[in-house]
A = this chain, B = another copy of it.
C-alpha cells in the first residue's frame, strides 16, 4: 500500500482564520466568543504519529482541540490488552473527562501527525462564567462523545465480528464526510488493523479475516491508505447503522 503522505494543516495563529470554522461543519460563534476562545487558547502544538498526548493516569491534563490529523483515546490492562475508546478527528475536544470528574484515566495518542490548539484549563471556569454559550457547547460535546462511546459499547458487547467491522467503517466514513474530509468518494484511513482490532475488541487475526471477507464481498476497498465504501446499503444493513441527519457541531 503506497500511502500518500497526508498533509496535516497547522493551526493558524489567529482563531478568526480558523480553517475548521470555515469548513461549514461547525456552529457559528459571536465575535466576542471568538475573542474569548483566542485568549483561552494558550498555544498550539504539533505531534508526531504515535506520540502520546496524554498518558494513562496522568494528572493535570491539558485541554486541546484537535485541529488536524487523527488521534485516539484508549485504556490498557496491566498485561497489555488495549481498548481504543474512540477516534478523535478534527474539531474534537480532548481532555474534558480528565478535567472533570474522577473518572479513571485514559490515554490519548496521535495516530497521524496532528496539530492541536492548547487551552488554559485553569480558565475553564471563566469560560462557563463569562460565556455560558460556550459552556453549553462544551456540555454538548461531552454528551455527544458519550453517545459515540455508547455505540461502541453496544458494538463490543453485542455485535459479532462482521457487524463490528461494518459498523466501524460506516461510522468513520460518516464522521469524516461530515467535516468535509471525504474526497471523491473516499476518505484517508490511517488505521492499522491492530487499531481496528483494539477499537472493536477483537484479535488482530480475526480482524484481518473479517476485513478480508467484507472486501472480497465487494463491500469496501482499503487501498493506498484510503477507504472507499462500495456497498453502503449492505454495510448499513449488516451493522444496523442508522444515519442521522447531519447537523452543525460546536467547536472550541
Q: Which A residues form the contact surface with B (CB < 8 A)?
A: 73, 75, 77-78, 81-83, 85, 96-97, 99-104, 106, 125, 128-129, 132-133, 135-136, 138-140, 142-154, 156-159, 200-201, 240, 242, 244-245, 247
Task: Please give, as numbers and ranges, the residues of chain B lying within 8 Å of A83 by CB-CB distance.
Answer: 153-154, 157-158
Q: Which residue of B lies closest to A78 (CB)?
A: B240
Given contacts A142-B142, A156-B153, contact A103 B148 (CB under 8 A): yes
Contact A244 B104 (CB under 8 A): yes
Question: Which residue in B97, B133, B152 is a CB contact (below 8 Å) of A153?
Answer: B152
- Please give the count of copies of this chain that the complex contains: 2
CA distance A156 to B150 in the complex (A): 12
Q: Is the interface of A mostly helix, strand, loop or mixed?
A: helix
CA distance A104 to B243 in the complex (A): 9
Contact A143 B100 (CB under 8 A): yes
Task: Please give, as numbers and ranges, the residues of chain B lying within 8 Å of A129 by CB-CB distance.
Answer: 132
Q: Which residue of B lies closest to A97 (CB)?
A: B143
Contact A100 B140 (CB under 8 A): yes
Sample of 18 more A-B contacts, CB < 8 Å, known A103-B150, A152-B153: A81-B158, A96-B139, A96-B143, A99-B143, A104-B147, A104-B150, A104-B151, A106-B150, A125-B136, A128-B128, A128-B132, A128-B135, A135-B136, A145-B146, A146-B146, A156-B156, A156-B201, A157-B200
